[in-house]
């Protein structure tokens, strides 16, 4: 298929792009390279342009796309609170423009990269797709709005969609050829691996008094390669004429902040500094996916559902990345 991947030079988008190329698809990546890297797109064609660049978007879509996979977004929750207009502009307004252009050009399918942040502070221990949407920050709200735009457009047109709500994405390509290279990343496993590689002074644990087994927050960490595979499965479903689908992406179990930090210390052999700090406003005690629907309906079977494996891959990438930057 002829595919457009927006944000394909970023962390998740680049891993999906690599798997799409391996599956034999023709991939055009549209990315403004604000947080992504040109080298990350591999053999895909790169159009270095912003999603708000209507002329560039029209030119690419004019070539005829069988599907769009949309990853381009701003994703730092605290920044979304301090600069909400950036998030509603980039994540919602620009996404609206993309969906409108897709409609004009008759693109048959769109896969949208969403987030568990749309659930806010869920009341259940494991969250399924029917949980109420109640985002507590502009990042989650901007993604929720984009989901609704896509659903409403599909209801009014032949467009079919797939929405994937990510939980905590981590890890890297197993051979350390690709990984998270986002400047000033905030994801815990990435931050801890930076500390182990000597690129960061230490790690902060925000909140040690949660009602969890060790007092720290619990999250569902999904390996980026398993997440990418879910996108390929969903694309195959839509390409075969399947109907629109919405899925949580996680493993269905979680690890605490302390467990993650200790895993990185143990696997790296580096006793980096760990600081304890007060809770951050809006952080739930636990956020774990019920991802049974993804497994049942698409036959998705994760390959890397193991914390040590995720950490090993993230560490190998981080060491390679830091060496490359010297």
Catalytic residues: 139
Picking from 150, 7, 161, 147, the residue whose alpha carbon sits closest to that of residue 74 is 7
Strand partners, 256: 218
**Strand pairing report for 218-219 and 255-256:** antiparallel
The two three-digit tokens of residue 33, written as one number: 């390279």
**Straight-line distance from the first to the last Cα atom of the chain, in angstroms, rounded to the nearest whole number:** 39
Q: Which residues contact 247 (CB under 8 A, 6 or more apart)?
A: 129, 162, 163, 164, 165, 230, 234, 291, 293, 294, 297, 298
Q: How far is CA 6 from CA 78, 240, 245, in A?
A: 23, 22, 20
Query: Helices 11-22 and 224-239 sit at what angle, rounded to 10 degrees?
Result: 50
């Amino acid at each position: 298929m002829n595919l457009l991947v927006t944000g394909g030079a970023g962390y998740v988008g680049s891993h999906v792009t690599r798997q799409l190329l391996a599956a034999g698809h023709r991939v055009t990546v549209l990315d403004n390279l604000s947080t992504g890297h040109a080298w990350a797109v591999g053999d895909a064609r790169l159009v270095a342009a912003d999603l708000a660049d209507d002329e560039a978007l029209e030119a690419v879509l004019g070539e005829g796309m069988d599907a769009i996979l949309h990853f381009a977004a701003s994703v730092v929750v605290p920044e979304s609170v301090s600069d909400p207009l950036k998030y509603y502009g980039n994540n919602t307004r620009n996404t609206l423009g993309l969906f409108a252009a897709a409609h004009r050009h008759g693109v048959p399918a769109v896969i949208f990269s969403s987030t568990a942040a749309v659930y806010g502070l869920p009341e259940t221990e494991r969250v399924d797709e029917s949980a109420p949407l109640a985002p507590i920050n502009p990042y989650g709200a901007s993604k929720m709005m984009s989901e609704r735009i896509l659903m409403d457009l599909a209801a009014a047109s032949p467009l079919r969609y797939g929405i994937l709500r990510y939980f905590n994405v981590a890890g890297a390509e197993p051979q350390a050829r690709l990984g998270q290279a986002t400047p000033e990343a905030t994801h815990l496993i990435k931050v801890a691996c930076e500390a182990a590689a000597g690129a960061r002074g230490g790690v902060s644990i925000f909140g040690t008094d949660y009602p969890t087994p060790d007092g720290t927050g619990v999250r569902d960490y999904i390996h980026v390669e398993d997440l990418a595979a879910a996108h390929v499965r969903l694309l195959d479903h839509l390409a075969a004429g399947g109907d629109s689908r919405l899925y949580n992406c996680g493993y269905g179990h979680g690890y605490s902040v302390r467990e993650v930090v200790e895993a990185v210390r143990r696997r790296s052999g580096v006793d980096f500094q760990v600081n304890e700090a007060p809770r951050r406003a809006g952080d739930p005690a636990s956020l774990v996916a019920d991802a049974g629907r993804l497994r049942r309906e698409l036959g998705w079977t994760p390959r890397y559902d193991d914390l040590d494996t995720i950490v090993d891959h993230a560490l190998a990438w981080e060491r390679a990345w830091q060496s490359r930057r010297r």
